[in-house]
């Protein structure tokens, strides 16, 4: 009976998430390109002096779709110019196939330098992407048997995208709705397991989302973000109006 209840609850959760994604797709599609560019510039200017970013040596940055989210090009370039080790998402087939695990998973792969970043080609969604033929030569965070010197590799800061965000009225937690594939949640769970296996406890990585102001649901009338047991909590949210929200700041 409990299995049936669990499956029913998960189906309801997934349906609620999909409904909000559909509503947000329309909302984000109406944002003028000039507004998204302006907000992206504001987020970049905030990050340049933001302590978690300034102090991070190893940073993961999502690479943006052409519209509907914060553009991270300036952030990637600044991080490389600042001498940080910069990692970007790489999607690949799960090396541990199982009916209970996703078929495709995400790793973080290091960019060599600015020229390497500029050489990335857009995928079918317009997102700059790593050439799979070069992955075996690169440092990766999780990796596999072919990985280049990544046994000890962890991250200090992960800058994540999202579709919608809100603040839990009960706990003050910042809740994130992703695109529905679970790439970041599964990656972070595996990252924590790796840190534990290295004797470091749970990974001390900081998790901050970057979002257009319109992506934050500020009142129940705008909707709320449904969360499940595998959804990762954020350390903070940097908005396109320059606002930085943390769980402590909303208590």
Q: Residue 167's pLDDT is what?
A: 93
The whole model's pTM is what?
Answer: 0.91
- % of the chain residues with pLDDT over 70: 93
Provide CB contacts within 8 A for 143, sequence distance 6+: 107, 150, 153
Calculate mean pLDDT across residues 181-192: 89
Calculate mean pLDDT across residues 235-248: 95
Whether residue 232 is predicted with pLDDT greater than 70 in this model: the reply is yes
Binding site, by residue number, is 17-21, 63, 69, 176-184
Q: How confident is the model at residue 3 (pLDDT cuts 50, 70, 90)?
A: very low
Binding site for ATP, by residue number, is 17-21, 176-184
> Which H, E and C letters describe the chain, residue by residue?
CHHHHHHHHHHHHHHHHHHHHHHHHHHHHCCCHHHHHHHHHHHHHHHHCCHHHHHCCEEEECCCCCCCCCCCHHHHHHHHHCCCEEEEEEEEECCCCCCCCCCEEEEEEECCCHHHHHCCEECCCCCEECCHHHHHHCCECCCCCCCCCCCCCCCCEEEECCCEEEECCCCCCEEEECCCCCHHHHHHHHHHHHHHHCCCCCCCCEEEEEECHHHECCCHHHCCCCCCCCCCCCCEEEECCCCEECCHHHC
Whether residue 228 is predicted with pLDDT greater than 50 in this model: the reply is yes
CB 80 within 8 A of CB 111: yes
User: What CATH code is assigned to 2-250?
Assistant: 3.40.50.10420
Among candidate residues 47, 75, 44, 51, the one with its CA nearest the CA of residue 62 = 75
Q: Residue 196's pLDDT is what?
A: 84
Query: Measured in Å, how far apart are the chain's first and last C-alpha atoms?
Result: 38
Q: Residue 5's pLDDT is what?
A: 55
CA–CA separation, 19 vs 12, rounded Å? 11
Mean pLDDT across the chain, nearest whole number?
A: 89
Q: How confident is the model at residue 202 (pLDDT cuts 50, 70, 90)?
A: low
Calculate mean pLDDT across residues 9-19: 88
Report which of residues 141 and 230 the model is more confident about: 141
Binding site for substrate, by residue number, is 63, 69
- CB count in 10 Å sphere of residue 235: 17
**pLDDT tens digits for 109-161?**
999 999 999 999 999 989 999 999 998 888 899 876 555 556 667 899 999 99
- % of the chain residues with pLDDT over 90: 61
Provide CB contacts within 8 A for 233, sequence distance 6+: 173, 174, 207, 247
**pLDDT tens digits for 35-90?**
999 999 999 999 999 999 999 999 999 999 999 999 999 999 999 999 999 999 99
């Amino acid at each position: 009976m409990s299995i049936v209840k669990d499956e029913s609850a998960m189906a309801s959760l997934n349906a609620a998430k999909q409904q909000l994604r559909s509503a947000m797709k329309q909302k984000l599609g109406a944002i003028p390109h000039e507004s998204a560019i302006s907000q992206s510039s504001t987020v970049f200017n905030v990050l340049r002096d933001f302590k978690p970013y300034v102090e991070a040596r190893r940073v993961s940055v999502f690479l943006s779709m052409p519209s509907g989210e914060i553009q991270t090009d300036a952030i990637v370039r600044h991080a490389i110019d600042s001498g940080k080790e910069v990692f970007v998402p790489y999607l690949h087939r799960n090396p541990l196939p199982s009916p209970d695990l996703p078929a495709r998973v995400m790793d973080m792969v290091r960019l060599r330098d600015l020229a390497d970043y500029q050489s990335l080609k857009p995928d079918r969604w317009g997102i700059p992407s790593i050439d799979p033929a070069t992955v075996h030569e690169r440092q990766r965070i999780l990796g596999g048997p072919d990985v280049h010197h990544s046994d000890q590799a962890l991250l200090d800061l992960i800058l994540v995208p999202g579709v919608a965000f809100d603040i839990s009225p009960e706990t003050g937690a910042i809740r994130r709705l992703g695109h529905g594939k679970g790439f970041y949640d599964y990656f972070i769970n595996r990252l924590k397991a790796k840190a534990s296996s290295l004797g470091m406890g749970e990974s001390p990585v900081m998790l901050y989302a970057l979002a257009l102001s319109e992506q934050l649901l500020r009142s129940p009338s705008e909707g709320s973000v449904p969360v499940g047991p595998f959804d990762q909590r954020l350390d903070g949210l940097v908005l396109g109006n320059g606002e930085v929200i943390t769980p402590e700041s909303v208590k």
